[in-house]
Amino acid sequence: MKLVDHFERGLAAPICLTWELTYACNLACVHCLSSSGRRDPAELSFDECRSFLDELQRMQVFYVNIGGGEPTVRPDFWELVEYATAHQVGVKFSTNGVRITPERARWIAASDYLDVQLSLDGATAEVNDAVRGAGSYDTARTAMRYLAEAGVRDFKISVVVTRANAGQLDAFAELADQHGAQLRLTRLRPAGRGADVWDELHPTATQQAQLYDWLVARGERVLTGDSFFHLNPLGASPLPGLNLCGAGRVVCLVDPVGDVYACPFAIHERFRAGNVRSPGGFARVWRDSPRFAEFRSPEAAGGCTGCAAADSCRGGCMAAKFFTGLPLSGPDPECALGHGEAALAAVTAGSAPRPSVDHSRRPVPVRIGGPTPDVAGRACDSSPLVGCGG
């Protein structure tokens, strides 16, 4: 059996586990995969987080990608990072930079087994802030400066490629070089709030072709998290990476309340395999979940049987199909050969599944006259930054 077949049948433990630590976020990015905003009152406690990390150590999950929400707004975040790295679980965390002070940057520089991934979705404030919100570009650039000044080498600048920033790839690469950082490009998925903006923001076919060429030319210097294997039919050189959909096979997501999903782009009941709080914990979910068994069966190959390119794109992204209303056996909505457009045209408007979990902050109701309404009816409805200090 080839290695890739082993991967598709599932491994003893994930290679790559994403852990969304909190749904709380100071930003409200229009494309947020996890529809984050408000803290969920049921999120894992500090002790539960530590037990989960103990389990990852036992299973030899060598590192975890921590995200959110904005993970650093959890008051116990840095302590959890220390706990993980002291227990042979390396950490890479994604942040918008809001909690990166000069002092914290020096702490990061002095920590082993810790990587930082800073999110930036435009090489200019105009492009970035249209997606991530006013002021977010300055926050990210300030954090980048602090990290570089503290000597944090090879931190990642993580960019979701959109129609608006696809022309800025060289500018992003230059920013990374200037900061001694590494550029990471990922795919815009129609997951979470991303479903609402995908039609207008996903790259055009021309941009996809340019992106593929750009990535091939850059090779392994640009990270992609295996985001773009659906573009492989565009040329003879496969992009660096495993080039397969790892959902539930080598990858999974644990959300802030402990629910285990097949991948970070699939927070939906259809892809939920269990909860780390249940008897047997995460290990049992990973090994025994019928949902994951389904994704690991030989019949679960990426679809598109009969297409000559199926071996190179492996049917594309399951989550992208699901949230655009396409069958999992059909083409990716951004199929490099153009089969996605025809398939999308056949989808009945409004029939695509909606994300089943939403922690977006609600708009503050505007009232004229009368007492100011208390919009923070529950603790978790208020800004996640309240009470977090500095």
Only one residue has tokens 């039609």, namely: 199
Only one residue has tokens 């992208």, namely: 320
Site string for another protein, 111-150 (x = CB under 8 A): -xx-x-----------------------------------
Q: Is 241 in the site for another protein (CB under 8 A)?
A: yes
Site string for another protein, 14-33 (x = CB under 8 A): -xx-----------------
Q: How many residues bind another protein (CB under 8 A)?
A: 32
Are 56 and 17 contacting, i.e. CB atoms less than 8 angstroms apart?
yes
Q: Which of 54, 58, 90, 238 binds another protein (CB under 8 A)?
A: 90
Q: Is 225 in the site for another protein (CB under 8 A)?
A: yes
What are the backbone dihedrals phi and psi of residue 281, each rounded to the nearest 5 degrees, phi first?
A: 60, -155
Closest distance to another protein from the beta carbon of 11 (Å): 6
Q: Is 6 in the site for another protein (CB under 8 A)?
A: yes
Q: Which of residues 178-197 bind another protein (CB under 8 A)?
A: 182, 184
Q: Dig out the tokens for 136 from the structure.
A: 């977010």
What is the distance between the alpha carbons of residues 256 and 278, in angstroms, rounded to a whole number? 15
Cis before 69 (ω within 30) = yes
Instruction: Indicate the residue among 9 and 354 with the shorter CB distance to another protein.
Output: 9
User: Which region, judged by CB under 8 A, interacts with another protein, from 58-66, 135-143, 196-204, 292-300?
Assistant: 58-66
Only one residue has tokens 């500018």, namely: 171
Q: Is 242 in the site for another protein (CB under 8 A)?
A: yes
Are 287 and 342 contacting, i.e. CB atoms less than 8 angstroms apart?
no
Q: Is 223 in the site for another protein (CB under 8 A)?
A: yes
Q: Is 13 in the site for another protein (CB under 8 A)?
A: yes
Name residues whose C-beta falls within 8 Å of residue 107's C-beta, 6 or more positions apart in sequence.
78
Provide the b/e sequence for 52-88 (b: ≥16 CB within 10 Å): bbebbeebebebbbbbbbbbbbbeebbebbebbbeee
Dihedral (CA of 111, 114, 115, 116) sign: negative
Closest distance to another protein from the beta carbon of 16 (Å): 5
DSSP structure string for 284-345:
HHHHH-HHHHHHHSGGGS-S-TT-TTHHHHTT--HHHHHHTT--TTS--TT-TTSHHHHHHH
Q: Is 153 in the site for another protein (CB under 8 A)?
A: yes
Instruction: Indicate the residue among 223 and 335 with the shorter CB distance to another protein.
Output: 223
Q: Is 250 in the site for another protein (CB under 8 A)?
A: yes
Instruction: Indicate the residue among 24 and 262 with the shorter CB distance to another protein.
Output: 262
Residues forming contacts to another protein in the complex (CB under 8 A) are 1, 3, 6, 9, 11-13, 15-16, 60, 62-63, 88, 90, 112-113, 115, 153-154, 182, 184, 220, 223-227, 241-242, 246, 250-251
